A and B are shown apart, each in its own frame.
Chain A
């Protein structure tokens, strides 16, 4: 699997600061939903993402948006184990953008956000490009084929 140097976690010290024996002095629990939300918010600045989430999540998301309670963790699922986290992300990409690049940008953004804001070590971010949004699909079917 992947291994890398754990980052320091500013603000949160899950190992318990100042314990001389090196034993933890209690644990900090960060709810998975918080981690997912932070990951979801990190995606706002990634170019080439049309939407986050699969079909069902997006349909449900549209309803949530309408009642202005947007779920920022939509399309993001996290699995936290001790102080490590694995993220699965599902997105709809724009067109024409290089999909591998969008996935990599999303991955980098999520890793950076989680490692700096939450202080968890990210083991992997699995990105699924669910669909690609074509621009002309939006402007309806009005354009005639034969003029």
Chain B
């Protein structure tokens, strides 16, 4: 199957299917951007034997009236996306052992969500 990665070990091959890879990428991206894994769509492509990831996802943002100051404490959407992109590359590589060529993150929308009330 395209998008699956094979790793040779001394006593057998380990294959991570495209489905498993997609699942991990969407979970990491979702965690990083504060959305649910189901809202993230992932494309796997081959880049000369390495794995090229394209992630389409909404981002979770705070409503304007909840912003204190010019930008949220954890940075602008762009900053957060860039951080997510690095997270995805690092965490996916660590979890799956895949050799990642590049990660493209496309924001498809914004989800408004209030911060959880502190009890």
Residues of A within 8 A of B (CB): 2, 87, 92-93, 95-100, 103-104, 107, 111, 122-132, 134, 136-137, 143, 145-147
Q: Is the CB of A131 within 8 A of B23?
A: yes
A143 to B27, CA, bound (A): 16
Q: Are A129 and B11 in contact (CB under 8 A)?
A: no
- Docked pose: A104 CA to B15 CA in angstroms: 11
The answer to whether B107 has its CB under 8 Å from any CB of chain A is no
Partner of B14, one of A92, A103, A134, A146: A103
Among the stretches B48-56, B67-75, B76-84, B94-102, the one at the interface with A is: B94-102
B13 touches A126 (CB 8 A): yes
User: With A97-B95, A131-B20, A132-B20 in contact, is A104–B27 under 8 Å at CB?
Assistant: no
Are B11 and A2 in contact, CB atoms less than 8 angstroms apart? yes
Q: How large is the interface on B (under 10, 10 to 19, 20 to 34, 35 or more residues)?
A: 20 to 34
Find B16's partner among A99, A123, A134 (CB 8 Å cutoff): A99
Q: Say yes or no: A100 contacts B24, CB within 8 Å.
A: no
Query: Closest CB of chain B to A135's CB: distance in Å?
Result: 9
Shortest beta-carbon distance, B37 to chain A, in Å? 5
- B100: shortest Cβ distance to chain A, in Å? 14
In whole Å, how far is A99's beta carbon from the nearest beta carbon of chain B?
Answer: 5
Q: How far is the CB of B66 from chain A (nearest CB, A)?
A: 12
A128, B15: Cβ atoms closer than 8 Å: yes
A126 to B6 CA separation, bound complex (whole angstroms) = 10
Residues A136 and B15 in contact in the complex (CB < 8 Å), given A99-B96, A145-B111, A146-B111: no
Q: For the complex, is B7 an interface residue (Cβ under 8 Å from A)?
A: yes
Residue interface bits B81-119, CB-to-A below 8 A is 1, else 0 = 000000000010011110000000000000111100000
